Amino acid sequence: MEVMSLLFVLAVLLLFAGIVYSAVISTRRNRQAKEQMAQLLGLTPVQPDADLYEKIAALHRTPSNTAKYELRHVFRRALSDGELFLFDLIDTSSDGDSWTCTQAVAVRSPSLRLPPFELFPKVDSKNYALGGLTNIIVAWVAAKSGEPVEFPQFPEFAARYVVISTDPEAMRHFFDERMAGYFAQTAYYSLQAAADLFVFAEIEPGFDTSDQLLMARRLARAQEIFRLWQT
């Protein structure tokens, strides 16, 4: 019986060691794949500075969400009047890591003067049976981060996106016809912005961050938005 017990304990330990080893190998491969992708896209790995961390984390915190975040797999490219970053944002508050952003793009520049706001895509209720209900839920969840900002003067834009802000008047003053026209021609965009930094990604079905063409498109779109918002 003692031998059987010992063999059982050894089997459990070997199984546990195998799981840990697999997790380590998977994490390493994931990091290497992102490093290779960033290199192909013309970015270099960097250690995020405190300003970058605080601003990105602040964009994802709400009064009811005081999560502890960590930036990982951060890569940088210099712009003519700013910096572009590719990054993962991890919520480390619980026992297991929760991925809040996966290879999202942040642009930081002194030429940006952005009000605090978030922009989320709506579901096309004409193509999806539960689209209307989904949009109500999205608006309800988003409103926990700020006040909904309506743009009835831009119906095509309003049909595509929900906007919330902790400073609605500043957002209404900032968002003009040119911007509404640009975003009315897009789909699936997700944005968080304040002051001199914004974070961009697409909430697009089937989007694969290991696809170089899709990631190059993500960077290009972020730079388009940057040019749109430069002062």
- What's the confidence (pLDDT) of residue 22? 45
Q: List the chain domain ranges.
A: 114-195
Length of the chain: 231
Distance from the Cα of residue 156 to its chain's centroid = 24
**Exposure string over 212-221, b if 16+ CB within 10 A, otherwise e:** eeebeebbeb
What is the CA angle 109-33-60, rounded to 5? 40
pTM across the whole model: 0.82
| Secondary structure class of 153 (helix, strand, coil) | coil
d(CA 142, CA 189): 15
- What's the confidence (pLDDT) of residue 131? 47
Which residues does 63 contact at the CB level (< 8 Å), separation at least 6? 144
Q: What share of the chain is helix, strand, coil (3-state, %, to 5)?
A: 45, 30, 30
pLDDT-flagged residues of the chain (< 50): 18-26, 128-131
- What's the confidence (pLDDT) of residue 23? 40
Determine contact, residues 111/230, Cβ cutoff 8 Å.
yes
- What's the confidence (pLDDT) of residue 215? 98
- What's the confidence (pLDDT) of residue 97? 76
Determine contact, residues 194/109, Cβ cutoff 8 Å.
no
d(CA 159, CA 152): 10
Crossing angle of helices 2-40 and 212-229, in 10° steps, is 50
Determine contact, residues 89/200, Cβ cutoff 8 Å.
no
d(CA 57, CA 211): 26
**pLDDT, tens only, 48-106:** 999 999 999 999 987 667 778 999 999 999 999 999 999 999 998 876 678 899 999 99
* Phi, psi (deg, nearest 5) at residue 81: -140, 45
**pLDDT, tens only, 93-114:** 876 678 899 999 999 999 999 9
